[in-house]
């Protein structure tokens, strides 16, 4: 029997190697040869899975997004069957920040991807679609919280969504030791408390 190769698993291993290169050395060193070395494979083997740097980067970014979504799902599972929308938003926002190893890796990957997107039209479109989808998810949560009476009906859901996502801008401040992760989480908590102030949390 010929040995079965887990192609998806191999691509994920390469993506994680790419994350490590970005996290440890920066996007300037992000070449296929460097990633192959980090992954412990030959350049030819890497090119078997990814025909170009752009294809490799695109997969690594999609995989990073999947891992962020998975961490959010795992965090929500710990909230019980009917979590309050404030807690759902807190978990979602916290997992977008570089608060632990996996989140730091995916956060730095995202930063590298944005830089790439500024100079590559195809990457730009993919990144834009991904961010648009993520923003839409947060806005749906906000709109549902307003509909259910958890947030004041006078609030503009689009503006509140933009303000919530602005909190993920703490990432460079955390990465460069301007503020601590605890400071970022405290600011998120204060903002969420104000957003949900005066509304029933028993939901």
| pLDDT for residue 1 is more than 60 | no
- Residue spans of the domains in the chain: they are 53-195
pLDDT of amino acid 149: 95
For residues 151 and 149, give the distance between their C-alpha atoms in angstroms, rounded to a whole number: 6
CA distances in angstroms from 183 to 46, 86, 96, 146, 169, listed in the order given: 41, 18, 15, 27, 13
| pLDDT for residue 105 is more than 90 | no
Structure tokens at 112: 């590298």
| Mean pLDDT for all residues in the chain | 89
CATH of segment(s) 53-195: 1.10.357.10
Express as a percent the part of the chain with pLDDT over 90: 57
pLDDT of amino acid 203: 45
For the ranges 5-9, 15-19, 174-178, 199-203, the lowest mean pLDDT is seen at 199-203
- What mean pLDDT is predicted for residues 84-98? 94
């Amino acid at each position: 029997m010929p040995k079965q190769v887990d192609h998806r698993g191999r691509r994920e291993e390469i993506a994680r190697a790419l994350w490590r290169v970005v996290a440890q050395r920066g996007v300037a060193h992000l070449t296929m040869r460097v990633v192959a070395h980090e992954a412990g494979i030959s350049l030819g083997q890497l090119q078997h899975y990814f025909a170009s740097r752009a294809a490799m980067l695109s997969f690594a970014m999609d995989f990073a997004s999947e891992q962020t979504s998975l961490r959010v799902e795992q965090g929500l599972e710990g909230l019980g069957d009917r979590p309050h929308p404030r807690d759902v938003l807190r978990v979602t926002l916290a997992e977008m920040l570089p608060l632990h190893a996996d989140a730091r890796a995916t956060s730095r990957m995202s930063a590298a991807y944005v830089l790439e997107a500024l100079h590559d039209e195809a990457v730009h479109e993919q990144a834009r679609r991904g961010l648009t989808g993520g923003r839409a998810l947060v806005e749906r949560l906000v709109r549902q919280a307003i509909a259910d009476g958890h947030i004041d009906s006078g609030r503009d859901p689009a503006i509140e969504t933009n303000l919530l996502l602005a909190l993920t801008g703490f990432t460079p401040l955390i990465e460069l030791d301007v503020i601590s992760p605890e400071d970022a989480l405290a600011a998120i908590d204060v903002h969420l408390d104000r957003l949900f102030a005066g509304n029933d949390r028993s939901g």
